[in-house]
Amino acid sequence: DQRGDHQALFRRVTLALGPDRNAHIPTDMRIAAMKSADDPALAALYFHYGRYLLIAASRPGGQPANLQGLWNDSLTPPWGAKMTTNINLQMNYWLAESGDLWETQVPLWDLIGDLQESGARTEKIHYNARGWVLHHNTDLWRATTPVDGAWGMWPMGQAWLANQMWDHYRFSGDRVFLDSCAYPAMKGAVRFVLDTLVQAPAGTRFAGRLVTNPSFSPENSYFLNGKRSQLTYAATMDLELIDELFAAFGEASRLLGRDAALRAEAVATRKRLPPLQVGARGQLQEWIEDYREAEPENRHVSHLYALYPGQAISPRVTPKLAAAARRTLELRGDGGTGWSKAWKIAFWARLLDGDHAHKMLQSLLAESTLPNMFDTHPPFQIDGNFGAAAAIAEMLLQSDDNSITLLPALPSAWPDGRVTGLRARGGVTVDIAWRGGQLTEAALAGNRAHTVSVQNAARRVAIPLPSARTVRLDGQLRPVSIP
Ligand code: FUC
């Protein structure tokens, strides 16, 4: 039955951000009231609504959620109700991992399977390379060629999607998925990059290094000799996507015991990419040269891919680059479309600045949300709904392969709350409760036996997780025995 089908997914996760004092007020009025007063429980509702929309829009056997999810009501919808792949399609699925809705990604994986066929044809014709390519847009017909304008030439969609598939492996540990679904997509994406990188010629800043060319930083332009330019080589986002792709492929091929020669080539090539750079204003440079942006406040922040959803930049591991990323966000400003604000919530969460993340969320709810709670670009575009819901989870829980951080970016506006059922990398399900801004208890359940490093505020402890048994911790991260 439909209700049971929905509840089986929806009820895996709960979130309360303090008492819902405004529960009796209609949602459209609560959204309107956000302009003058904060409403933490509305943020919790927005999170639940994001999960509800994803469950409704994207199920096995169907199509992936497009720019309008499946709620397009027009024959000439904005941007053709397509799936834009330089942020929007990916953002639609960020919530699927942390929000424990992995099944909603099956249509995305089916799409990626199809795109490997059409993308191999496009690649042969346009680049005479192996593997597959996806430019900045696709649709029901699995288009992979450049479309729309110069920005449509951005040829990195396959790398981003392949990285996202690897991330599902990191969350789930599902070897069958890695072997049959993710690995072929990753391998084809690696081949494209290996076949199309070129050596930067003498006289350029990184002569002898391997660079992408042509390249484009979605969707900004810059001034070169007083003229506005878009195309470039080795845009920062390319370098970040490739670095992550090659690292992931190296690990995946080792795990599966395959393609040793290709792995060696990827590992060697990774070392020959130009480094990320900090520009004159202290910002993470968007391009290979410290060009002046044509739109300093452009809604895209492509060069912060490595901060989120990527993980190569973090305050703990790469503090200098994290500081540069922060400067980039300050220079970019807090404006933007709905989806841009959603991305910025996640960026600030990764920078461990809960109050700034919360400020962005408030702006999204007050300025970029329609009365029925749909995100607005404007016009209505659903990526912001999914992206912001994922970003709320990122404020409460962050994880990488070996560590889990509880309440990494808790804003002062949410002193009390409880979340249950969030997912962390390493196959762990996490519950967290807090009061007065402090952790009071947590519960972790692993899908296999391993030890994780659990962190909250200044504390960090190693917690052995047995398989199929929940470990409870108190506010000091001490294991609590269950009577
Ligand atoms: C990209 C964005 C736009 C819009 C469109 C669907 O081109 O730059 O803001 O989200 O996709």
Q: Does residue 91 line the site of ligand 1, with CB under 6 A?
A: no
Query: In a mutational test of the pocket of ligand 1, which residue from 68, 90, 151, 219 has the highest number of ligand atoms less than 8 Å from its CB?
Result: 219
Whether the CB of 217 sits within 6 Å of ligand 1: no
CB neighbours of 306 closer than 8 A, spacing ≥ 6?
Answer: 240, 243, 244, 276, 312, 313, 321
In this predicted model, what pLDDT tens digit does every residue of 359-394 receive, in sequence order?
A: 999 999 999 999 999 999 999 999 999 999 999 999
What residues have CB less than 8 Å from 5, skipping those under 6 apart? none
364 in contact with ligand 1, CB cutoff 6 A? no
Q: Please state, for a pLDDT cut of 90, what percent of the chain lies above it.
A: 98
Mean pLDDT of the chain: 97
Does any ligand 1 atom lie closer than 6 A to the CB of residue 375? no
At residue 482, the pLDDT reads: 65
Q: Is 39 in the pocket of ligand 1 (CB under 6 A)?
A: no
Residue whose CA is at the smallest distance from ligand 1 atom 7: 84
At residue 129, does pLDDT exceed 80? yes
- Asked if 95 contacts 382 with a C-beta cutoff of 8 angstroms, the reply is no
Q: Nearest 5°: phi and psi at 21?
A: -70, -20
DSSP string, 83-143: EETTTHHHHHTHHHHHTT-GGGGHHHHHHHHHHHHHHHHHHHHHH--SS----SEE-TT--
Give every CB contact of residue 203 below 8 A, 6+ residues apart in sequence: none
DSSP state letters, 409-473:
T--TT--SEEEEEEEETTTEEEEEEEETTEEEEEEEEESS-EEEEEEETTEEEEEEE-BT-EEEE
Closest C-alpha among 161, 166, 130 to residue 253: 166
Q: Is 148 touching ligand 1 by the criterion CB < 6 Å?
A: no
The alpha carbon of 379 and the centre of ligand 1 are apart by a number of angstroms equal to: 11
Question: Is the pLDDT reported for residue 483 higher than 70?
Answer: no
Q: Is 358 in the pocket of ligand 1 (CB under 6 A)?
A: no
Whether pLDDT at 481 is above 80? no
pLDDT of the residue at 1? 87
293 CA distance to ligand 1 centroid (A)? 18
Is the separation of the CB atoms in 439 and 387 below 8 Å?
Answer: no
For residue 406, the CA-to-ligand 1 centroid distance in Å is 33
- Amino acid residing at 45: L
Cβ–ligand 1 distance for 164 under 6 Å, the answer no
Asked whether 73 and 367 are in contact (CB, 8 A), the reply is no
Helix (H, G, I), strand (E, B) or coil at 344: helix
User: What is the CA angle 150-155-158, rounded to 5?
Assistant: 145
**Tens-digit pLDDT profile for residues 84-109:** 999 999 999 999 999 999 999 999 99
For residue 92 and ligand 1, the question of a CB distance below 6 A is answered with: no
381 close to 339: Cβ distance less than 8 angstroms: yes
Atom of ligand 1 nearest to the CA of 82: 6
C-alpha to C-alpha distance for 92 and 98, rounded to whole angstroms: 13
Give the span between the Cα atoms of 357 and 295, in whole angstroms. Answer: 23
Per-residue pLDDT tens over the stretch 140-187: 999 999 998 888 999 999 999 999 999 999 999 999 999 999 999 999
- Measured CA to CA, the distance from residue 382 to residue 104 in angstroms comes to 15
Query: Is the full-model pTM beyond 0.85?
Result: yes
Contacts of 421 (CB under 8 A, 6+ apart): 12, 13, 14, 100, 429, 430, 431
Contact 279, 347 (CB under 8 A): no
Nearest CA to ligand 1 atom 10: 88
If you measure from the C-alpha of residue 118 to the centroid of ligand 1, how many angstroms do you get, rounded to a whole number?
23
| Alpha-carbon separation of residue 182 from 105, 113, 115, 168 (angstroms) | 12, 9, 13, 9
pLDDT at 143 (0 to 100): 97
Decide: 136 in ligand 1 pocket, CB within 6 A: no
Residue 12, Cβ neighbours under 10 Å: how many?
Answer: 16
Mean pLDDT of 49-70: 97
The verdict on the CB of residue 79 being under 6 Å from ligand 1 is: yes
Which H or E element spans position 361? Answer: helix 354-367
- Residues 423/458, Cβ–Cβ less than 8 Å: no
Q: What is the pLDDT of residue 468?
A: 81
Write the CB contacts of 222 (distance below 8 Å, at least 6 apart in sequence). 228, 229, 232, 286, 287, 291, 292, 293, 294
Atom of ligand 1 nearest to the CA of 79: 6
Atom number of ligand 1 nearest to Cα 78: 6
Taking only the tens place, the pLDDT of each residue in 327-350 is 999 999 999 999 999 999 999 999
* Distance from residue 385's CA to the centre of ligand 1 (Å): 15
303/221 Cα distance (integer angstroms): 13
The answer for 82, left when phi > 0, alpha when psi is -120 to 50, beta otherwise, is beta
Q: Which atom of ligand 1 is nearest to the CA of 383?
A: 10
482 against 307, higher pLDDT:
307
**pLDDT tens across 178-230, in order?**
999 999 999 999 999 999 999 999 999 999 999 999 999 999 999 999 999 99
Q: What is the DSSP string of 216-233?
A: --TT--EEETTEEE--BS
How large a percentage of the chain has pLDDT more than 70? 100
Over residues 410-467, the pLDDT tens digits come to 999 999 999 999 999 999 999 999 999 999 999 999 999 999 999 999 999 999 999 8
Verify whether ligand 1 is closer than 6 Å to residue 88 (CB atom).
yes
Atom 1 of ligand 1, residue of closest alpha carbon: 84
Q: What is the CA radius of gyration of the chain?
A: 22
